[in-house]
Amino acid sequence: ADVFQSHEEDDRKVRRREKNRVAAQRSRKKQTQKADKLHEEYESLEQENTSLKREIGKLTDEMKHLSEVLKDHEKICPLLHCTMNFVTIPRPDALTSCLPR
């Protein structure tokens, strides 16, 4: 009876070890998949970040250009030099009186 019981215990140990080995493999595989997914997400965010930085550069250049255009325009704009530009309710005749003839 002891030999039979010892053999059953050995079988249980073998099955438990095998089950544990399979569970450990599954866990390692899951960790690897999670790491791969995080790496892909990182790569995607890096690309998006690069794209956004490029867009910021373009918009900054556009803003500088438009600021220069505005500054140049302010120098020659008749409406900015008109004494009537402080009127709270704009009248068509007031605006036309400021325009060059």
User: Is pLDDT above 90 for 15?
Assistant: yes
d(CA 18, CA 10): 12
User: Is pLDDT above 90 for 24?
Assistant: yes
Confidence band of 81 (pLDDT split at 50, 70, 90)? confident
For residue range 51-74, what is the model confidence (pLDDT) as tens digits?
999 999 999 999 999 999 999 999
Average pLDDT, the chain: 86
Please say whether the dihedral angle defined by the alpha carbons of residues 80, 84, 87 and 89, taken in this order, is positive or negative.
negative
In-domain check, residue 69:
yes
In-domain check, residue 96:
no
User: Is pLDDT above 90 for 91?
Assistant: no
User: The pTM is what?
Assistant: 0.56
In-domain check, residue 97:
no
In-domain check, residue 100:
no
Q: Which domain holds residue 56?
A: 1-80
For position 30, what pLDDT does the model report? 98
In-domain check, residue 37:
yes
Helical ranges in the chain per DSSP H = 2-76, 78-81, 92-98
Domain count, the chain: 1
